[in-house]
């Protein structure tokens, strides 16, 4: 993948925007805008990129951090303030779809609180 820093920033922004839209839609359509049911966390991980490579450095500069497994992780990509795990998962799933569109090996993850 040969992306510029500006392109990486735009890709991450697109992933977060898609996540926000998906989470908001889920929250309104499935929960009626009421924060209820199971609480938890969700994120989107990018695998197969080393932190010391050009791409890894660009992801870091775009605000994507490496987690303890060395995967690049976007925590709560929807930046949704509810606690409902299903809402957060909808956002993380949408972000992963956008990242895969650009050739990244990206998957969502979650855990109950």
What is the structure's pLDDT at 1? 83
What is the structure's pLDDT at 108? 98
Residues of the chain with pLDDT under 70: none
Structural domain boundaries in the chain: 5-69+77-112
Among 35, 8, 25, 23, residue whose Cα is nearest residue 99: 8
From the number of C-beta atoms within 10 Å of its C-beta (0-12, 13-18, 19+), residue 74 rates as buried
For residue 103, the tally of other CB atoms under 10 A from its CB is: 10
């Amino acid at each position: 993948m040969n992306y510029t820093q500006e392109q990486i920033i735009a890709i991450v922004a697109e992933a977060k925007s898609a996540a926000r839209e998906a989470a908001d839609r889920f929250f309104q359509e499935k929960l009626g805008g009421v924060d209820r049911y199971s609480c938890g966390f969700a994120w989107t991980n990018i695998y197969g990129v080393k932190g010391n490579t050009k791409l890894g450095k660009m992801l870091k500069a775009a605000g994507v951090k490496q987690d303890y497994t060395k995967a690049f992780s976007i925590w709560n990509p929807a930046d949704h303030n509810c606690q409902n795990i299903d809402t957060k998962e909808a956002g993380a799933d949408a972000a992963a779809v956008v990242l895969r569109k650009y050739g990244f090996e990206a998957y969502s993850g979650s855990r109950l609180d």
